[in-house]
Amino acid sequence: MPNSGPLAGVRVIDLTMWIQGPIAATLLADLGADVIKVEKAGVGDHGRSLQSVYGVDMRQGDSPHLLWTVCNRNKRALALDLRHAEARPVFEALVKSADVFVTNLMMEPLLQFDAHEEAVRALNPKIVYARASGFGERGPWADDPCQDTLGMAYAGLLMTCSPDGKEPYYPPGAMSDVLSGTMLAFGILAALRERDRTGAGQYVGTSQLQTLMWMQTLNFGAVANLKQSFEFSDRRNPPNPMFNTYLCGDGRWMALGMAVQAMWPVFCEQVGRADLIDDARYATMALRRTNARDLVKEFDAMFLTQPREHWLQRMRAQHLWVGPINRVEDLLADDQVRANGYVLTLDNGWQTPGMPFALRGHEPGAAPGPEHGVDTDAVLRELGFDEEAIGRLRVGGAIW
């Protein structure tokens, strides 16, 4: 469990579920915060029991639960039934001891548990109260349930990812949950900095809709300000053949990302096609757009003559914008990933992406998601409850 780092000494109450909220608190834990995960006694976060996601079994045999393990690392676990009257003194003591309260619960249960911002701030005026939602705090969809697919759908991302703009495409991996949780953590850091400066508590809110609109800043800007939409790219007839994907002779794909005219002659030299530099069909970006289909056919035939590494080496030698098209499986043994330490190996041997940024001199902890309620007694003792009081709470069902 991390006990050092930029957020050492900061206590976080994690009243979250599934992925979006837990990811936010996990980032704070990676930075050294003492994150206490509050779960319903005897039941726990629904993320513990989700059986299958996108065709992958989350728990295989006796192995740990994947979603729970990687989305709740470096936390402590408190099993507390907030519906139970005897749990209220524990909750209040916890809130008074905390710096941050994180949740992605809907408003109805927050009101039921008396864990909404007004109630929490009445106990601790200086607390940073952070809540992630699906569609935002106001408006006709404010109280609707949301998860990753629905957030992407409402924010237009399923159509942005569509290959033709006609049929939506869902990229698997809970990307909306992860992004919005990350943005919530970002906002929490800003709120803590403001509290350091002013001494006042703060509210932080974000939603899947808000963060996915941010991710599509250029898309939205083109529509709102230029009254145009980005073209859906058919790789056989793209707006720019130098901004496209190509299959190489060994059956592996690569991507070109060259949007600058000055790269055209250098590219042609490096791939052995100097004859194309002044070709009347392709000499300018406008001409290459007009004749894109024919140029892609030329490139397709050319790139199939050699393996991908051949082409990558030739173009990278002149710092042209090119790269391999990897699968996630490729990243596990990738030299670039390893050189930068982008994979975090947890104490149980499981691997997961580490923090999405690096701080020199700081390494996140590597504790996997905790067992249900494993730290309940320790946390209660820290809050001033003696063994007799803890026993009464357990017998009464308020804790696990």
Residue 114's contacts (CB-CB under 8 Å, 6 or more residues apart) are 88
Judge contact between 209 and 155, C-beta under 8 A: yes
Q: How far is CA 215 from the centre of its chain?
A: 12
CATH fold of 11-217+370-396 reads Rossmann fold (3.40.50)
What number of other Cβ atoms are within 10 A of residue 298's Cβ? 16
CATH for 245-330 is 3.30.1540.10
- Give residue-wise pLDDT tens across range 124-144: 999 999 999 999 999 999 999
Q: Which two tokens stand for residue 357?
A: 């940024």
Pair 2, 74: CB distance under 8 Å: yes
231: left (phi over 0), alpha (psi -120 to 50) or beta: beta
The answer to whether the beta carbons of residues 26 and 73 sit under 8 Å apart is: yes
β-pair partners for 254: 246, 324
Q: Where are the domains of the chain?
A: 11-217+370-396, 245-330
- pLDDT by residue for the chain (400 residues), tens digit each? 546 899 999 999 999 999 999 999 999 999 999 999 999 998 899 999 889 988 999 998 888 999 999 999 999 999 999 999 999 999 999 999 999 999 999 999 999 999 999 999 999 999 999 999 999 999 999 999 999 999 999 999 999 999 888 999 999 999 999 999 999 999 999 999 999 999 999 999 999 999 999 999 999 999 999 999 998 879 999 999 999 999 999 999 999 999 999 999 999 999 999 999 999 999 999 999 999 999 999 999 999 999 999 999 999 999 999 999 999 999 999 999 999 999 999 999 999 999 999 999 999 999 999 999 999 999 999 999 999 999 999 999 999 8
